Amino acid sequence: MSALDNDHGVYPSYRDSNESVFGCEHYKRNCKLVASCCNKLYTCRFCHDEANDHPMDRKATSMMMCMKCLIVQPIGPTCSTVSCNSLSMARYYCPICKLFDDERKIYHCPHCDLCRVGKGLGIDYFHCMNCNACLALSLAEHTCARNCLEDNCPICHECMFTSVTPVRVLPCGHMMHSSCFQEYTCSNYTCPICSKSLGDMQVYFGMLDTLLAEEEIPEEHLGRTEDIFCNDCEKRGTPPFHRLYHKCASCGSYNTRLI
């Protein structure tokens, strides 16, 4: 390996403005990684990817730099120099993913072959072999969507399989980032992929029942019907004409569309 200097990143990086905690905006850690692709030092793969036009293969990383002594050395959980007295690079270290993190609880899933945020399989998460995804234990009973995490988040379009952002499983089995779900559901109640309702809509649908019961249908539309398809129960129907709302006679949902 060629010698590294300041142009290659041989200097400490800090997580806070007071320069008292090593790391970056993404991770708290005491080391930098030597990117095998460009032989430069970056605090994490996200820092590398933001500065380059190619992704960093973190699993190919074999060297690191301790940010206390600035010595480049083989990657490992502690600094190998005598002066650092086996300084820990982070509380969590994965020799497979070459991931260091000094703040969060993280575990490595052998099925995903990736590190995930959480206490561990069988503790707060399990791996669904059908979905090929790590899910919270509370979702032991769920609608499986095969290889669902291999898709991008339907809202922000970031790859969910390698994302460090928590993912939420929708009732229909599709997934999106939890933060995207919170923002999306401020103005939407249907899945952006399959259009099924995202929760129990009985209260809202009951309000529409009351609204439509109080409306007077114009005489020219009396007896007129519409052909609809229900996104929730996937059945067709012919409810009375209305400019906006069409109720499914099979399940009572207003999550319908004209056909």
**What pLDDT digit, counting tens, does each position of 135-187 carry?**
889 888 887 877 777 789 999 998 888 777 788 888 888 889 989 999 999 99
CA distance linking residue 221 with residue 81, whole number of Å: 85
Q: Looking at residue 1, what is its pLDDT?
A: 44
120, 109 in Cβ contact below 8 A? no
Q: Looking at residue 3, what is its pLDDT?
A: 62
32, 65 in Cβ contact below 8 A? yes
Q: Looking at residue 9, what is its pLDDT?
A: 83
**What pLDDT digit, counting tens, does each position of 16-44 carry?**
888 889 999 999 999 999 999 999 999 99
Region 196-215: what's the mean pLDDT? 92
Percentage of the chain beyond pLDDT 70 is 97
Region 51-56: what's the mean pLDDT? 93
**What pLDDT digit, counting tens, does each position of 101-141 carry?**
999 999 999 999 999 989 999 999 999 998 888 888 988 88
Query: Which is nearest to 104 in space by CA: 41, 165, 57?
Result: 165
For the chain, give me the number of helices (H) and strands (E)?
3, 15
Q: Indicate the Cα dihedral angle 142, 145, 150, 152, nearest 10°.
A: -90
Residue ranges of the domains in the chain?
6-101, 106-184, 202-258
| Fold of the domain built from segment(s) 202-258 | Rubrerythrin, domain 2 (2.20.28)
Q: Looking at residue 142, what is its pLDDT?
A: 81
Region 240-247: what's the mean pLDDT? 91
Q: Looking at residue 5, what is its pLDDT?
A: 63
Region 226-243: what's the mean pLDDT? 94
pLDDT at 202 over 70: yes
CA distance linking residue 166 with residue 180, whole number of Å: 10
Q: Looking at residue 141, what is its pLDDT?
A: 84
What pTM was computed for the model? Answer: 0.69
CA distance linking residue 212 with residue 131, whole number of Å: 41
Percentage of the chain beyond pLDDT 90 is 69
Q: Looking at residue 80, what is its pLDDT?
A: 96
Average pLDDT, whole number, for the chain? Answer: 91
Give the end-to-end CA distance of the chain in Å, rounded to a whole number. Answer: 65
Please state, in angstroms and as integers, the Cα–Cα distance from residue 222 to each residue in 133, 210, 239, following that order: 51, 19, 12
pLDDT at 76 over 60: yes
pLDDT at 93 over 80: yes
Q: Looking at residue 2, what is its pLDDT?
A: 46
Q: Looking at residue 4, what is its pLDDT?
A: 67
Q: Count CA atoms closer than 13 A to 253's CA, side-chain side.
A: 24
Place of tokens 């690191």: 64
Residues 6+ apart with CB under 8 A from 223: none
CA distance linking residue 220 with residue 161, whole number of Å: 54
